Amino acid sequence: MGLSPCLLGAGDVEIPLIVHDLGTASPAVLEALEMINTNRFKAAVVKLREAQDTARDKDAQYLLGWCQYAGKGTAQSLVKAEQSFFGAATRGQAGAQCSLGILRISTAEAGNVDRVKSGVEWLEKSAEAGVALAMRVLGDYYRSGFPPGTLEIDGQSASQWLQKAADAGDPEALFLYAGMVEQGRGVPAEPERAWKLYEMAARRNSAPAMLRLGRRQEDGDGVPANPDNAIAWYRKAADLGSAEGYARLGTIYQKSDPDKAVENYRIAANLGHAESQSDLGYCFEYGIGTQQSALEAVKHYTLAAEGGSPHGMFNLAACYDRGTGTSRSLESAAHWFLSAALLGHAPAQNEIGMRYSKGIGLQQDPVAGSLWFRLAAGQDYGPAIANLATCYEEGNGLAADPAKALALYIEAAGRGVSIAKYRLARMFENGTSGKIDLEIAYLLYRESNRSGEFADGTAAAERVGRKMTAERLRQADQFRENWNGDVAELLKRSR
């Protein structure tokens, strides 16, 4: 349903909005709250219904609406929840106003501007009553433009609401506001001030702020990289129950302490972190920090894929493709590659492009293949850029266009793609580049096998070398001794 966690916590009830309005709560409502906090939901619902029916208690009506929304102690019903929220909200219950606003916005059909507008108005009423969470939700909606097509991104409104929520003590609002300050969205960009705001949010126990600070230390973002400081921040987030905190610990330990990496990946995976399931599968596949087991790898890749992890889908597809830890199935491989590709995973998009182009596990469709190559190339994925170049070179799924092929091969070769260097060399050898240049072809063929994994490059270089004069070959080899492999530098010799 995509509703805000201000209504539902990770398996437990969150009641920050109710606390705001409990100064005058009735004894019956306080008793029901105690029942909710101790997971006696059915008894709480009975108590709330009594309070609502006998005293028209707005707090009871709000809490009953929450139980109907969450399916706690009663059947889940968004319709009944909205009715209860509305009844309490119209009588000034600020928590109900916030909940009603979120529910209406989150369940609005595409293009239903009136419902979104109504939701925003209820959130504003709640915010005006001093509910920090309503302020934060408003700021976040304006920051992200949610829901798409109905609420426009408004950096100024977002930063204003987030700052108000932060001033009211909401640590997650402070984290989001810090991001606005860092990026200069709705406020002037002030990176140094942003980092101070992140630190302030972290001191208020914002796990996302801790993760951001940890990533800064890990990556050396404006400061010297410091893995120990990164680990300290990730540990703080993990201690607050952040699955991402455990996942980041796993990633950073994988380089130095594989056993600890596996330990943290396990915890993150058990907390529902799908990407950590994939990382755990990778550790089992290659014996990193644990005994190597293809069966365990497939098990965790499957859990990751079913949990929505694009990397898990890709790795599971690769196992089906190779028959690693499972029976080989090109159809299953294509299914999971496609699932990952639809989520924007560039290597998977490239794989699907190749399978459509060659008819591997899918009905052959060169046009569809070229479209998938283009999507992956749009994400600057080098192998896909090379494959798109081949489509233009061979007229496979696209109208042949040697000039576009040349430009794309140059781009992919510049990114270190060996096959692109090889095919670019071929264009200079046969003249489809616009001219024949055997020296450039020779050097590119040689470079395509620099890592020793593309023997065809060496054989092709030897073939071209036999066509060159001894002096030209000597000059090419002399250049190669001091050449760092920069394709752009090499091509200057051909101009």
Instruction: Provide the residue ranges of all domains of the chain, joining segments of one domain with +.
Output: 1-128, 413-494
Residue 192 has pLDDT above 90, yes or no: yes
Res 25: pLDDT: 84
Res 493: pLDDT: 79
Res 18: pLDDT: 52
Section 55-64 average pLDDT = 93
Architecture in CATH of 1-128: Alpha Horseshoe (1.25)
CA distance from start to end of the chain: 59
Are 449 and 438 in contact by the 8 Å Cβ rule? The answer is no
Write out the two tokens for 145.
């433009």
- What is each CA distance from 369 to 57, 306, 360, 364, in whole angstroms? 62, 25, 11, 8
Section 312-318 average pLDDT = 98
Residue 7 has pLDDT above 70, yes or no: no
Query: The pTM is what?
Result: 0.84
Section 50-57 average pLDDT = 91
Q: Is the peptide bond before 147 cis (omega within 30 degrees of 0)?
A: yes
Q: pLDDT, tens digit, for every residue of 93-125?
A: 999 999 999 999 888 888 899 999 999 999 999
Res 191: pLDDT: 94
Res 21: pLDDT: 64
Section 452-468 average pLDDT = 92
Are 275 and 312 in contact by the 8 Å Cβ rule? The answer is yes
- When the pLDDT of each residue in the chain is averaged and rounded to a whole number, the result is 92
Res 151: pLDDT: 77
Residue 16 has pLDDT above 50, yes or no: no
Res 109: pLDDT: 87
Length of the chain, in residues:
495
Res 106: pLDDT: 86
Res 4: pLDDT: 34
Res 372: pLDDT: 98
Residue 445 has pLDDT above 50, yes or no: yes
Closest by Cα among 103, 133, 119 to 21: 133
Residue 271 has pLDDT above 50, yes or no: yes
Angle at 429 between CA 427 and CA 431, to 5 degrees: 60
